[in-house]
Amino acid sequence: MLLVRRARHTTVLLLRTQQRNYSHSRRTFCVSHTHLNQRKGLVLGVFEKEEEEASLHLTEAAKGFDQTVSGKLSELLKISGPALKKGKTRIFYGIREDFPCVAVVGLGKNNAGVCGAENWDTSKENIRQAVSAGCRLLQDLEVNHVEVDGCGDSQSAAEGAVLGLFHYDQLKAKKKTKVTAQLHKSADLVGWEKGVAYAEGQNLARLLMEAPANHITPTVFANTIEEKLAPHAERVTVNKRSEAWIEEQKMGAFLSVSRGSEEPPVFLELHYNGSSDSTQAPLLLVGKGITFDTGGISLKPSASMDAMRADMGGAATVCASIVTAAALKLPINIIGLAPLCENMPSGKATKPGDVVTAKNGKTIQVDNTDAEGRLILADALCYGHTFSPRAIVNVATLTGAMDVALGSAATGVFTNSDWLWEQLHKASVVTGDRVWRMPLFQHYTKQVTECQLADLNNVGKYSRSGGACTAAAFLREFVTAPHWAHLDIAGVMSNKDEVPYLRKGMSGRPTRTLVEFAAGLTQHS
Q: Are residues 57 and 128 in the same domain?
A: yes
- The predicted model gives 187-192 an average pLDDT of 92
Q: What local confidence, expressed as pLDDT, does residue 425 receive?
A: 98
Strands 456-457 and 435-437, sheet pairing:
unpaired
219, part of any domain = no
**Edge-first strand listing for the sheet containing 363-366:** 354-357, 363-366, 456-457
- The predicted model gives 343-353 an average pLDDT of 98
Of residues 17 and 209, the one with the higher pLDDT is 209
194, part of any domain = no
Q: Are residues 419 and 470 in the same domain?
A: yes
Q: What local confidence, expressed as pLDDT, does residue 52 receive?
A: 61
pTM of the entire predicted model: 0.92
What is the distance between the alpha carbons of residues 397 and 384, in angstroms, rounded to a whole number? 19
- The residues assigned a catalytic role are 300, 374
Indicate whether 3 pLDDT > 50.
no
Calculate the alpha carbon distances from 132 to 162, 165, 363 in Å.
Answer: 8, 7, 49
What is the distance between the alpha carbons of residues 499 and 204, in angstroms, rounded to a whole number? 18
What is the distance between the alpha carbons of residues 477 and 76, in angstroms, rounded to a whole number? 64
Q: Which of 16-25, 402-411, 488-497 is the least confident region?
A: 16-25
In one-letter notation, the amino acid at residue 258 is S
User: Please, how many CA atoms are within 13 Å of residue 166, restricted to the half-sphere of its CB?
Assistant: 26
What is the distance between the alpha carbons of residues 471 and 274, in angstroms, rounded to a whole number? 33
Q: Would you mind telling me the total number of residues written for the chain in this entry?
A: 525
Among residues of the chain, what percentage have pLDDT more than 90? 86
460, part of any domain = yes
Q: What is the mean pLDDT of the chain?
A: 92
Q: Are residues 369 and 262 in the same domain?
A: yes
E strand intervals along 466-512: 484-488, 494-495, 505-506
Count of domains observed in the chain: 2
444-472 confidence digits (pLDDT tens): 999 999 999 999 999 988 767 899 999 99
Strands 411-415 and 266-273, sheet pairing:
unpaired
Pick from 421, 464, 423: nearest CA to 440: 421
Q: Are residues 31 and 132 in the same domain?
A: yes
Indicate whether 9 pLDDT > 90.
no
Contact, 133 vs 151, CB < 8 A? no
Of residues 228 and 185, the one with the higher pLDDT is 228
Q: What local confidence, expressed as pLDDT, does residue 24 receive?
A: 30
Confidence of residue 17 (pLDDT cuts 50, 70, 90): very low
309, part of any domain = yes
Q: What local confidence, expressed as pLDDT, does residue 111 receive?
A: 86
453, part of any domain = yes
- The predicted model gives 121-138 an average pLDDT of 98
Q: What local confidence, expressed as pLDDT, does residue 321 receive?
A: 98
Q: Are residues 455 and 307 in the same domain?
A: yes
Confidence of residue 28 (pLDDT cuts 50, 70, 90): very low
What is the distance between the alpha carbons of residues 266 and 255, in angstroms, rounded to a whole number? 10
Indicate whether 475 pLDDT > 60.
yes
Q: What local confidence, expressed as pLDDT, does residue 30 receive?
A: 35
Q: Which of 187, 219, 240 corresponds to the end of one domain?
A: 187
Which residues are bridge partners to 241 per DSSP?
267
Packing angle of the helix pair 189-210, 511-521 (nearest 10 deg): 130
Q: Are residues 361 and 274 in the same domain?
A: yes
If one counts every other C-beta atom within 10 angstroms of the C-beta of residue 68, the result is: 12
293, part of any domain = yes
Q: What local confidence, expressed as pLDDT, does residue 326 receive?
A: 98
What is the distance between the alpha carbons of residues 522 and 525, in angstroms, rounded to a whole number? 6
312-336 confidence digits (pLDDT tens): 999 999 999 999 999 999 999 999 9
Of residues 48 and 330, the one with the higher pLDDT is 330
Q: Which of 5-19, 66-80, 250-264, 330-344 is the least confident region?
A: 5-19
211-270 confidence digits (pLDDT tens): 999 999 999 999 999 999 999 999 999 999 999 999 999 999 999 999 999 999 999 999
Q: CA quadruple 209, 214, 218, 221: dihedral positive or negative?
A: negative
Q: Are residues 339 and 459 in the same domain?
A: yes
Show the domain range for 258. 227-521
Q: What local confidence, expressed as pLDDT, does residue 53 receive?
A: 62
Q: What local confidence, expressed as pLDDT, does residue 82 receive?
A: 85
Q: Are residues 314 and 415 in the same domain?
A: yes
Confidence of residue 293 (pLDDT cuts 50, 70, 90): very high
What is the distance between the alpha carbons of residues 7 and 135, in angstroms, rounded to a whole number? 12
Confidence of residue 23 (pLDDT cuts 50, 70, 90): very low
Of residues 67 and 52, the one with the higher pLDDT is 67
Indicate which CATH number applies to the domain containing 49. Answer: 3.40.220.10
If one counts every other C-beta atom within 10 angstroms of the C-beta of residue 182, the result is: 13
Q: What local confidence, expressed as pLDDT, does residue 186 receive?
A: 74
Pick from 236, 439, 408, 265: nearest CA to 338: 265
- The predicted model gives 269-295 an average pLDDT of 96
φ, ψ for residue 63, nearest 5 deg: -60, -45
Of residues 127 and 53, the one with the higher pLDDT is 127
Contact, 419 vs 311, CB < 8 A? no
Indicate which CATH number applies to the domain containing 400. Answer: 3.40.630.10
Q: Select, from the ranges 31-40, 270-279, 359-368, the one with the highest average predicted confidence (pLDDT).
A: 359-368
Pick from 186, 367, 208: nearest CA to 290: 208
Q: Are residues 181 and 298 in the same domain?
A: no
- The predicted model gives 29-45 an average pLDDT of 63
Indicate whether 6 pLDDT > 90.
no
Q: What local confidence, expressed as pLDDT, does residue 161 receive?
A: 98
397-429 confidence digits (pLDDT tens): 999 999 999 999 999 999 999 999 999 999 999
Q: Are residues 236 and 146 in the same domain?
A: no
Calculate the alpha carbon distances from 515 to 36, 260, 273, 346, 521 in Å.
Answer: 38, 34, 15, 39, 10
Of residues 311 and 83, the one with the higher pLDDT is 311
φ, ψ for residue 466, nearest 5 deg: 60, 40
- The predicted model gives 354-377 an average pLDDT of 98
Q: What local confidence, expressed as pLDDT, does residue 31 receive?
A: 38
Helix (H) or strand (E) holding 289: strand 289-293
Q: Are residues 481 and 367 in the same domain?
A: yes
Q: Are residues 254 and 123 in the same domain?
A: no
